[in-house]
Every structure is written in C-alpha cells, then in structure tokens.
Amino acid sequence: MAYRATDRLPQGPYADDRKILVVEDSKTYSLALCRRLIEEVGLELVACRSLNELHEAVTENAAAYTLAVVDLNLPDAPRGEAIDFTVQRGIPTIVHTGSFDIETRNRIMERDVIDYVPKDSEFALDTLVRAVKRALTNRQTRILVVDDVKATRRLLAHMLTVQQYDVVEADSGAEALSLLEANPDIRLVVSDYNMPDMDGYELTRHIRRRFSASGLRVIGVSSSSDRMVSVGFLKAGANDFISMPFVPEELQCRIASNAETQEQIAQLRNLASRDALTGLFNRRHFFEHAPGLIAEARARRQKSAVAILDIDDFKQLNDSHGHDLGDRVLAGVARCIAQSVDGSSSLLARIGGEEFAILFPGLDAKAAMRRSDHVRLDVSHETVMVGEHQIALTASIGVAEIDENGSFDQALIAADRALYAAKREGRNRVCVQAA
C-alpha cells in the first residue's frame, strides 16, 4: 500500500490541486523528504516504496500527480524502471540516487527528467527540496526562444519544457519583438546569434531599448567557437551566454539562476512597495502608480475617483490600550478593506497612521461612493478583543471625483475635506466632495 501524507499547509505560490509522488524504498529517507515537502511546499503527497506500489498509486489516474520524485534504484526496479513509468505517463520527474558516476548520469539523462540529485552529501535533502520548488515555480516563468533553425529551436524549447517552463518560440528577431509586445509576461529571452533579419546582438539592443534588465533577462546562445561572440552579447545588454551544443545541466543551472535573480529583484521591489504592518501597498507606491491608472481611464473616456478612509477613534484606542492593540486594529481593518475591494481594479494603500487610500479608476463619484459604503459596512462588522471585551470598529470615508481635466492632487485634497466632513457629521459614514 502506498503511504499517504495528507497533512497540508496553505498552498501559497505552489497552488495545485494535484499531488506529489515520492518513490523511495528507504522508509527513513522517505519520511524525512515527505516531512520537508509538506512543510515547504504544502501539496498533498503519496509515498510509494516500490515499483509495484507506484503502479497501484498511478494506474487509476496519472493526471492526479503534478510531480514525481523517484529513486533511481528500487528493489523491484534496479535500472530506473520506475523513472520510465512516471515519464511515460507524463508525470514530470526528479530523480534521486544513492550511487552516482558518469554512467549513472548518462542513464538518467537519457530520459526526459527535470533534474537528478545524488544522495551523497549532507545537503542532499535540501537540494532535492529546492529542485521540487524550482520545478513548480518554473511553470510561472514564460521563456521566449529565438532561432531561425527549426531543429535547434525545437530542441532548446523541448529541454526548457521538460524543466517545466512555459515556452514561446520565434524564428526571427522581428517575430521575437512582436511576441514580446503581445506577451508582457515573458520573463526570459534565449536568442541565437546568427539569424537572417537581425543577429542576436541587434535583437538584444532592441530589447534593451524597450525593457529593463530586471524586467526581462536575455541569454545569448551560439555554436561559434569565437570567444568574442559571448562578449558581443554581454556588451549589447544580455545577462548571460551559453555555448552550443548544450550540456543539459549547464543550461538548466544558467536558466534557473537567471530566473531566480529575476524573482529576487521582484521580491525586493514588492517589499519596497509594501507597508510592513498591513501588507498593503505603501504611500510611495500609491502616489507613483495612481496617476498612470487615472490616465488609462481617461484614455477610455472614463472618470476616476479617490477615497480616503480613516479608522474612527483610533488614537483613543491606541492611547488607552497600547500600540499592540493599535497594530491589531490596523491589520484587521486593512485585511477587511482588501477583501472588500478584492477582484476590482481599485488601488488600495495605507498612506499613513490610520489612514488608507483607495483609487477607483473608471468610476465616477456616485459609483465610488457606493463602493466606499460597502467598504465602510464591512469595516463596521470588524471587532477587536480587549481582554474579555469585544470592541466594534468603524471608519469614516471621504470621496472625490477626478474628471477629465481634474488634478489628482486636487482630488486628494477634496477627499480629505470630505473625510473630515464625515467625522464632523458623526463618523461611520461616507461623504463626497467636488474636487
């Protein structure tokens, strides 16, 4: 019988309804691996200790599995038969093995596997878990492969697809540029040097005029023995260079390194744009991005509106019960507002203290007031416990419209005046004022 590990964490970035297969005959190693995967990945696991158990687990529904981690040598599958079983059924597979040499490496690489991890060091388990996380993350990364030679392009695209990347192909520099415009989610470009319409250097320079190195990474490839080809790519703005014919492991590591660098940059930017306490966008992000959203709405001949929300009696709560309670109130209200505007095109931020701002691109004052009143009502259902006492929370909101000729700064001033009007009129209400 297959061992099933059903304890699950929230799925987070690896959200998937399918399971991970762990095929390992060592019970101790299997338990350790399953425990780590449950903690760090959070998907449901099915653990098998033999090829026979693997047959039982998979035969009914191979599509139920998102990934397999398979031992190369099992008692009833001594030459990688378990790997063949998962690969042939379309289950992306990572191999781990107790013995490793060039012959073993060649046996593994004959199959379309994502990666292999030898169990020959104290870091083997860490490396294996990282490989699983990398494979799952790769599915969110779209790569453009550019090469005018179809066979070479298809080989590279296949190698990257095995690594779980989402691959788009182009047979010329011009087509590559068109695909980049049509697919803003492309994160990596892998380009050959020799192409008829424009070479890899020229394509790279075109890309750099339109896209930053942090937003779109470029990797040059070439079969040329001229060492200056790599220099030319890097001088043109490429981030890396790989020589052909490819060594699969080198290709995998270089692509993964560039993808990870890009993810780290995105994480740093996200942290810089977020409020540490509430997780909402911060004041700087709001003021940097709101004008662009307003301009987009104007291009569609639509108005926009801005709302400023203030938690009622927050200073009294903070002074009476301490900053810990104040932080709980801020976090709770922020979560409530975020849930209330979720699914809309609104831009929500904490802009200071107990104040929050919401931009409603494309909505006039009347529609924004209705949305704001929904937010106010949701906040009024929020409570915080102080000892044994439950304290209800409320918020006041000021709204102002931004018309075709209106200024964003003027609208913010008007929304602030409307907020104070809501406070004067008794709190827990929404007021609108003309900009």
Q: Please give the tally of structural domains in the chain.
A: 3
Domain finish residue from 224, 251, 271: 271
Q: Are residues 172 and 244 in the same domain?
A: yes
Q: What is the pLDDT of residues 106-130, one digit of tens each?
A: 889 989 999 999 988 788 999 999 9
Q: Is residue 276 part of a domain?
A: no
How many C-beta atoms lie closer than 10 Å to residue 15's C-beta?
10
Q: Are residues 426 and 288 in the same domain?
A: yes
Q: Are residues 297 and 408 in the same domain?
A: yes
Query: From CA 156, how far away is CA 169, in angstroms rounded?
Result: 10
Q: What is the pLDDT of residues 246-297, one digit of tens each?
A: 899 999 999 999 999 988 988 898 899 999 999 999 999 999 999 999 999 9
Query: From CA 244, how far away is CA 60, in angstroms rounded?
Result: 41
11 pLDDT above the threshold of 60 = no
Question: What residues have CB less than 8 Å from 67, skipping those under 6 apart?
Answer: 20, 21, 91, 92, 93, 94, 132, 135, 136
Is the CB of residue 326 less than 8 Å from the CB of residue 277? no
Q: Are residues 416 and 319 in the same domain?
A: yes
Check residue 17 and give its pLDDT: 84
Q: Are residues 14 and 130 in the same domain?
A: yes
Q: Are residues 426 and 317 in the same domain?
A: yes
One-letter amino acid at 423 equals: K
Q: Residue 69: left (phi > 0), alpha (psi -120 to 50), or beta? A: beta
Domain span at residue 164 reads 140-271
Is the CB of residue 148 less than 8 Å from the CB of residue 193? no
Burial group, residue 309, by CB count within 10 angstroms (0-12, 13-18, 19+): buried
Cα–Cα nearest to 189, from 103, 258, 290, 120: 258
Q: Are residues 331 and 304 in the same domain?
A: yes
Instruction: Report the CATH number at residue 170.
Output: 3.40.50.2300
Q: Residue 80: left (phi > 0), alpha (psi -120 to 50), or beta? A: left
- Helix H or strand E segment including 59: helix 51-59
Q: What is the pLDDT of residues 351-394, one digit of tens each?
A: 999 999 999 999 999 999 999 999 999 999 999 888 888 899 99
Q: Are residues 299 and 418 in the same domain?
A: yes
Q: What angle do CA 115, 247, 162 make, to 5 degrees?
A: 40
Q: Is residue 278 part of a domain?
A: no
C-alpha distance from residue 192 to each of 154, 164, 188, 248, 319 (Å): 13, 21, 13, 17, 64
Is the CB of residue 91 less than 8 Å from the CB of residue 62? yes
Check residue 435 and give its pLDDT: 63
Check residue 91 and give its pLDDT: 96
Q: Are residues 365 and 248 in the same domain?
A: no
Q: Are residues 180 and 315 in the same domain?
A: no
Domain finish residue from 271, 298, 327: 271
Q: Are residues 133 and 144 in the same domain?
A: no
3 pLDDT above the threshold of 70 = no
pLDDT confidence tier of residue 343, bands split at 50, 70 and 90: confident
Q: Is residue 277 part of a domain?
A: no
Q: What is the pLDDT of residues 401-431, one digit of tens each?
A: 997 778 999 999 999 999 999 999 999 999 9
Mean pLDDT of the chain: 92
pLDDT confidence tier of residue 155, bands split at 50, 70 and 90: very high
Domain finish residue from 223, 246, 271: 271
Q: Are residues 288 and 253 in the same domain?
A: no
Cα–Cα nearest to 37, from 62, 6, 64, 59: 6
The reported pTM is 0.76
